A and B are shown apart, each in its own frame.
Chain A
């Protein structure tokens, strides 16, 4: 025989379950715009009670858990994709700056100044004793050297900025790793204590994405709920509740290498090939270093070839031609391309003549260097610079393409994740209506049971 009190009991459970449902809906609605939030769902199940005196089963209800709707496999893919995106973003940022340095489209670039330099030599050849032509050449060559210095200087300071950025990024990364270890601790003890740790899990997922944005990592989840994070070469960065810091150390070129903080002899720079940090390292050590090398090459050859031809001629005072440019400085490279001080202070020191009689033949011979295949024996100075510019353009275009590709992959993954974990207001509103209905029905049950009691007691009074 059933009893009325068990009706109360069931109604009470139903009220509580529906209220929880509304609470969870409320949490979802409240977090509709929270980044990284995974929607939650009250998992509702039946609860059976065995009624001993009546020998029958009462079926009630209960909230088994508040579940976080989440796809671990998608999370893994998003984390993987983050390092690709971080890498392409870092490259794109630097390459955009490089492209701005080398912009020839609006005139006044290195190519134009190189052209003016050769033109000045030819003008001088046409009028070797002309002071205007000599001064013009002195200015044109200072402009050229100044622009080479400026390009190389800007590349160099970009390299230095990246170096500083690398050190800052390592600090940032260490913070994230420590946070992950901390969250691991909370998750392990929270799980043991049966607490709701959904928001902590969301935070940790977010951190994993942030770490992966900085550096390429692998991670595994342990049985107790912690994640262990490894560098791509297997060196652990987070082990359960302990994180391992990275540090920077200056190398022979004056740049930062990345090492383990607890073992500075362990250089892990080469293990970092992706993520923002990987992108910055590549830009600093390969791409920019390469372009600087090209500029050095160009400057060195211009200096050496012009100086060699200049030394074959005679200046306005009958002297053997001295240095036209200051000799190439192997340490500073293109950053220190300078017209010789003697030429600047007295343009008559330009050796325009092939004899002591002030003809223009040597200026013509220097002018002829314009078309000489000097760079690698196959390219003129102009060709070489054009190829460098084309190469930069090509690299930037490639970085743009891969950024838009990686971004669209990420968008795709995120929208898949969003489909699983995101909050839909439509859905939540329908749930709200549903739980409200359930709550109302349960309340009705209470009032029916109450009436039943009243009826029963009234019966006794009669």
Chain B
């Protein structure tokens, strides 16, 4: 082999640059502590790390979700336990000695229990109401203005208060039936001072629709179910509170979405009745197929706030749309354009809330969090389920307590006993809810523990794939450094040696 000058220096250069390259690679690894500094360092490893990282991110999200859910449920549990204590107190009040002085004190105790219960049921966590179902922005419970039928009454239909109480302070209305009979025939009188004076005099007749005026904006509605009509001597008591809420089922004013093209007004049609459903609902009307003029636009209707839709329906003749068609209780919306050409566009949306009787403004929907791939967990107990007799609930706790209070005030022993029994049932029911919350929490905690282990495992896998073994790399670094030094001194020595040194 002929070794030429260029070849000699080229070989030296190659050796040097190879030594430099190895040295620099190790420097980078030492600085970053990572084996993979760019995808080409280990393409398979890179993809794998991304996957592991993705799983790790998901786990972190699930863990955060579980923590949020757990915190929510812990608060729910304490609140429900406090409710249990309140119910126990109320039951004791019901079982107590019921002399006439005692009864008033007990009634006041029950009154404050109701207030406390209300504030518990309206508890918030992180700015959201615990017991409002999925309507977490709505305060779920308000004080109820409840009509109470005395236990000695013959009448066995139902009663609702209606209207808005405008009185300046709490007041008790007493209604007595003067002449018995069917609605439209029976006569009544109302007292605002505990039975001392009675209005009107002579007694007024109960109208056919069963609704009589109590005063201060309140009405009382008798719903005769056809078995035992109003009988002379029947007594009804209504405790009215400031900012209290009438118990009649109601339909709210229709709301329009802000994006709507339609600029006219939407109101409940005169043909609308009250709401006859079991639970609170939001009815939604959405226009489809490009919309059109009022009375001309196709539409869909949803009874669950817009999740599922029925229709589309062709526009009815006229300017009204029926969203709930329960006979006698239809909910009908009336559309009035602001002027000619004020048309409904596709996706124009109108909604109207409808509440069942009582004082609950939330709904019975679940709130859920994601605790795994395609795996969600419910974490809330709705107020409907815990404190009302609708949907999955058993006892209307507020109504029971209000009745207990009135019964104590009126000395209606039988009614008190009845309410105490109801409270026992309520307590059992809430105990069930507490147990459910506990079971969910322990389930979530197991998941959380599993995720903790999985997270550690993922970290281990990521570290195995992309992290350097420092001790190994330091030894290697020293080796490469030695090699680099040797290359340098060799290069200098070889470069220096020449035949010219020997020619004279």
Contact = CB atoms under 8 A, between A and B. Distances in A.
A115 to B, nearest CB: 5
B65 A359 contact: no
A105 B34 CA distance: 9
B368 interface: yes
A359 B305 CA distance: 10
A390 B47 contact: yes
Interface string B53-94: 110011001000100100000000000000000000000000
Nearest to B373: A371
B256 to A, nearest CB: 8
B307 interface: yes
Interface in A17-50: 32-33
Nearest to A360: B367
Interface in A111-136: 111, 115, 118-119, 122, 125-130
Interface stretch (A96-104, A179-187, A266-274, A285-293): A96-104
Contact of A429 (B53, B134, B347, B499): B499
Given A392-B39, A397-B40, A359 B134 contact: yes
Given A319-B349, A415-B7, A122 B370 contact: yes
A150 interface: no
- How many interface residues does chain B have, given as a range? 35 or more
A382 B373 CA distance: 14
Given A32-B5, A355-B305, A389 B14 contact: no
Contacts of A370: 58
Nearest to B286: A320
Nearest to B258: A317
From DSSP, what is the main secondary structure of chain B's interface residues? mixed
Nearest to A99: B38
A190 interface: no
B349 A355 contact: no
A318 interface: yes
Interface in A404-453: 411, 414-415, 418-420, 422-427, 429-430, 433
B301 to A, nearest CB: 13
A33 B61 CA distance: 65
Contacts of A414: 10
A382 B50 contact: yes
Given A105-B38, A317-B257, A319-B258, A358 B349 contact: no
A358 B255 contact: no
B50 A119 contact: no
Contact of A371 (B5, B306, B374, B498): B374
A111 B53 contact: yes
A371 B374 CA distance: 8
Contacts of B5: 32-33, 422-425
B367 A33 contact: no
B459 interface: no
A387 B47 contact: yes
B351 interface: yes
B492 interface: no
B146 interface: no
A59 interface: no
A385 interface: yes
Given A318-B349, A364-B368, A364-B376, A423 B134 contact: no
Contacts of A333: none
B127 A424 contact: no
Interface string B124-168: 001110000011111000000000000000000000000000000
A433 to B, nearest CB: 8
A386 B465 CA distance: 15
B61 A358 contact: no
B351 A386 contact: no
A357 B373 CA distance: 26
B373 A393 contact: no
A216 B61 CA distance: 55
Contacts of A314: 257, 306, 349
B2 A419 contact: yes
B46 A127 contact: no
A13 interface: no
B363 A357 contact: yes
B44 interface: yes
Interface in B21-43: 32, 34, 36-43
B269 interface: no
Contact of B128 (A105, A127, A371): A127
Contacts of A385: 50
B38 A393 contact: yes
B257 A318 contact: yes
A111 B57 CA distance: 11
A389 B57 CA distance: 18
Interface in B362-380: 363, 365, 367-370, 373-374, 376
A318 B258 contact: yes
B213 interface: no
A415 to B, nearest CB: 6
Nearest to A355: B305
A216 to B, nearest CB: 26
Contacts of B367: 359-360
Interface string B324-354: 0000000000000000000000010101000
Contact of B1 (A104, A396, A419): A419
B282 interface: yes
Most B-side CB within 10 Å, residue of A128, A356, A367, A392: A356
A411 B365 CA distance: 75
B414 interface: no
A339 to B, nearest CB: 18
A91 B14 CA distance: 22
Contacts of B169: none
B304 interface: yes
B426 to A, nearest CB: 27
A394 interface: yes
Given A126-B65, A390-B46, A397-B43, A355 B304 contact: yes
B495 to A, nearest CB: 12
Contact of B7 (A356, A418, A429): A418
B368 A127 contact: no
Which among B42, B135, B259 has the highest number of chain A CB atoms within 10 Å?
Answer: B259
Interface string A362-377: 0010011011000000
A104 B4 contact: no
B475 interface: no
A129 B137 contact: yes
B6 interface: yes
Nearest to A98: B39
Nearest to B502: A429
B498 A425 contact: yes
B7 A129 contact: no
B503 interface: yes
A426 B282 CA distance: 101
Contact of A355 (B7, B53, B137, B306): B306
Contacts of A122: 61, 65, 370
A386 B370 contact: no
A393 B259 contact: no
Contacts of A383: 51
A400 interface: yes
B500 interface: yes
B61 A394 contact: no
Nearest to A372: B374
Contacts of B10: 411, 414-415, 418
B270 interface: no
Given A319-B349, A361-B307, A386-B46, 7 more contacts: A105-B38, A127-B126, A357-B282, A419-B1, A422-B2, A424-B4, A429-B503
28 contacts: A32-B5, A100-B38, A105-B32, A105-B37, A115-B54, A126-B65, A126-B68, A126-B369, A129-B128, A129-B137, A130-B127, A319-B349, A320-B349, A354-B306, A355-B307, A358-B135, A358-B137, A359-B134, A361-B134, A364-B376, A368-B370, A387-B47, A390-B43, A396-B39, A400-B40, A414-B10, A418-B10, A419-B4
A-B pairs, top 7 by smallest CB distance, nearest first, are: A355-B305, A393-B39, A422-B4, A393-B43, A396-B40, A390-B47, A359-B134
